[in-house]
Amino acid sequence: MHSDTSNTSIGGIGRDRIADLRETEGAAFRKARPKSQAKIGNGLPGFFSGVPMHWMNDWPTPFPILVDNARGATIMDIDGNKLDDFCLGDTGSMFGHSPPPVARAIRRQAGRGLTYMLPSEDALAIGPLLQ
């Protein structure tokens, strides 16, 4: 038996209304992000499904937001839109985006090397702090 689901609602909102809202919001998203759309609107060559991370395909936006910078809990996209980051980029949630003490420590360490996979004298100071 096949049932007609064309008028089925989700959470009490009709599917046609959801489609209309999605189209309206998608148009507003595109209008507010002309630079992002020009750079990523048709996907990025070389990436699976045209996005850097596969889970971005689950987003309801027409294309991903391209970040210019982030500070604290705020992201600025390349079009100048200021966004409150409720996820804080996962690891950013520990300190916020680009906190000055962490940025200084990263700059200092980057000048000394990043991925040598061996301990430095810093390990001598850090170890006791972890006990």
* pLDDT tens digits in sequence order for the chain, 131 residues long: 555 556 678 888 899 999 999 999 999 999 999 999 999 878 888 888 888 888 888 888 998 889 999 888 888 999 999 998 877 666 666 777 888 998 899 899 898 888 776 777 877 888 888 87
Looking at the structure, do residues 72 and 45 belong to the same domain, yes or no? no
| pLDDT reported for residue 82 | 97
| pLDDT reported for residue 3 | 56
Looking at the structure, do residues 78 and 129 belong to the same domain, yes or no? yes
| pLDDT reported for residue 18 | 92
Looking at the structure, do residues 82 and 56 belong to the same domain, yes or no? no
Looking at the structure, do residues 69 and 131 belong to the same domain, yes or no? yes
Please give the tally of structural domains in the chain: 2
Arithmetic mean of pLDDT over the chain = 85
Which residues make Cβ contacts (< 8 Å) with residue 49, sequence separation at least 6? 43, 57
At residue 101's C-alpha, the angle toward residues 124 and 98, to 5°, is: 125
Looking at the structure, do residues 95 and 53 belong to the same domain, yes or no? no
pTM: 0.67
Looking at the structure, do residues 131 and 83 belong to the same domain, yes or no? yes
76 is in which domain, residue-wise?
A: 65-131
Judge whether 28 lies within some domain: yes
Residue-wise pLDDT for 62-88, tens only, equals 988 899 998 888 889 999 999 988 776
Q: How many CA atoms lie within 13 A of 29 on its CB side?
A: 17
Encoded amino acid at 39, one letter: K
| pLDDT reported for residue 21 | 94
Looking at the structure, do residues 82 and 130 belong to the same domain, yes or no? yes
State whether residue 123 is helix, strand or coil: helix
